Structures are given as structure tokens and as C-alpha cells.
């Protein structure tokens, strides 16, 4: 009996489209990041805080992924940059095909950096390559320090771990040293930044990290 593995077929097709996305972005000289987290961890707040520090040096574009509403896209668009909204209609992640369609709606020749805010979820987004240069995992300290080993793929696939809301550290039971240690157990090469979107602490370290990767990426 011949069996068809539908899941693997879908993942293979996703990988093919992701490769097309990467080639398209490179051809237009665009550096790209996929920002992932659970709902409410602060992805949009991170963009709102960091884009003003970047947009005088770089031409920034954003793809916003949400199940419903355009609220996050409206917040980011108010910063005066190009934003494209993807409403997944219940799908818990962005995939390469969704991003491929969005790329055709953006004028990539007018962008240097593309930031993709994925749908809030700690499982599915890590399974789908979008064709970006690097993935970033945002973990709020209000979520608990056990998340790296409970959701290891998110951390394995990420180049950077951001620990957000550190201004609340005295109010929650979160062991930063443990979270760092367990993330690095899973991915020894992962870089880690502690920041607070509310106070602004660590935001310049984050934007400096983006600038460093941009300069190393070789995009023109």
C-alpha cells in the first residue's frame, strides 16, 4: 500500500517557496528577520520602540501576521514606514507562501531591512521557514523560565533570544540565569539580550544587533 505523507509534502513545498523568498530578498538587497513569540510577549511593542532608532539609517518595511484585526499593523504604520498585513484567518503561523504573496505587495527596491512579526504561538512558527536571514525568539519573563525546554524548537531555530519585560523581574518568579542556561543547553550558539520595551532598557543593544547582522549579511 502506498502512503502519502501530507505533512512532509507541505513542509517540502514550504521549503521550496522559502528558498524563492530568500533569493528574491537577496536580489533586491533586503535583509530580513522573522520575529516569533507567544501572544502578548511584546513583539509589536518591540517594533514600535526600535524602528524609530533604525529608520533614519535604513529603509524599514514590516510584514504583520495576525489571526484577525489590523491593530498591530496600524500601530507600526503610524511610524511612517511601509507595512503589509497578513490575516491568517485562524492559522497559527505564517508560512512561506503567505510571505511570498506579501513580498509582491511591497516595493523591495525601496527597502533595506524587512521585519516580519509572526503570529503569536510557541510551536508552529518555528516549523515553517519563511526564507529570512535570521529568526528571533522573544520571551516575556511573565511567561516563566521553563519555556526553553518546553518549546525547544523555537530556541533551536533562533539566532537571538530576547528576554522582554525585565522591568517586572521583582514581581514575577522568573530565574533569568536558568532561562539563559537552558536556552544555551538547547542552542549553544544563541545570543541573548535582556530588555524592556516599557522602560527602553536594552533597546539600543537590540538595534545594534540588527545593524551588526545587516552589515555582515552582504546585502547591497
pLDDT in tens, 148-185: 999 999 999 999 999 999 999 999 999 999 999 999 99
User: What CATH architecture applies to the domain 6-217?
Assistant: 3-Layer(aba) Sandwich (3.40)
- Cα-based distances in Å from 96 to 8, 22, 25, 160: 15, 10, 13, 21
Provide the 10 A C-beta neighbour count for residue 46: 22
Written as tens digits, the pLDDT of the chain (220 aa) is 434 454 667 889 999 999 999 999 999 999 999 999 999 999 999 999 999 999 999 999 999 998 777 888 999 999 999 999 998 887 889 999 999 999 999 999 999 999 999 999 999 999 999 999 999 999 999 999 999 999 999 999 999 999 999 999 999 999 999 999 999 999 999 999 999 999 999 999 999 999 999 999 988 7
Q: Measure the CA–CA gap between 89 and 185, rounded to whole angstroms.
A: 36
Per-domain boundaries in the chain: 6-217
N-term to C-term CA, the chain: 51
pLDDT in tens, 3-30: 445 466 788 999 999 999 999 999 999 9
Q: What is the pTM of this model?
A: 0.93
For residues 20 and 103, is the Cβ–Cβ distance under 8 A?
no
Amino acid at each position: 500500500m502506498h502512503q502519502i505523507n501530507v505533512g512532509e509534502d507541505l513542509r517540502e513545498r514550504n521549503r521550496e517557496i522559502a528558498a524563492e523568498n530568500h533569493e528574491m530578498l537577496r536580489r533586491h538587497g533586503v535583509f530580513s528577520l522573522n520575529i516569533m513569540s507567544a501572544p502578548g510577549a511584546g513583539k509589536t511593542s518591540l517594533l514600535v520602540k526600535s524602528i524609530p532608532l533604525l529608520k533614519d539609517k535604513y529603509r524599514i518595511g514590516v510584514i504583520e501576521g495576525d489571526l484577525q484585526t489590523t491593530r498591530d499593523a496600524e500601530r507600526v504604520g503610524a511610524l511612517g514606514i511601509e507595512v503589509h498585513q497578513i490575516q491568517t484567518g485562524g492559522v497559527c503561523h505564517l508560512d512561506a507562501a503567505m510571505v511570498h504573496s506579501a513580498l509582491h505587495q511591497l516595493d523591495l527596491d525601496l527597502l533595506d531591512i524587512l521585519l516580519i512579526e509572526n503570529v503569536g504561538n510557541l510551536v508552529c512558527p518555528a516549523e515553517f521557514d519563511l526564507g529570512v536571514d535570521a529568526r528571533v525568539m522573544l520571551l516575556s519573563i511573565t511567561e516563566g523560565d521553563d519555556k526553553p525546554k518546553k518549546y525547544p524548537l523555537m530556541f533551536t531555530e533562533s539566532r537571538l533570544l530576547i528576554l522582554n519585560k525585565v522591568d517586572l523581574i521583582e514581581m514575577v518568579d522568573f530565574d533569568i540565569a536558568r532561562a539563559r542556561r537552558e536556552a544555551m543547553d538547547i542552542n549553544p550558539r544563541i545570543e541573548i539580550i535582556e530588555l524592556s520595551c516599557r522602560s527602553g532598557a536594552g533597546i539600543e543593544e537590540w538595534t545594534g544587533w540588527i545593524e551588526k547582522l545587516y552589515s555582515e549579511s552582504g546585502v547591497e
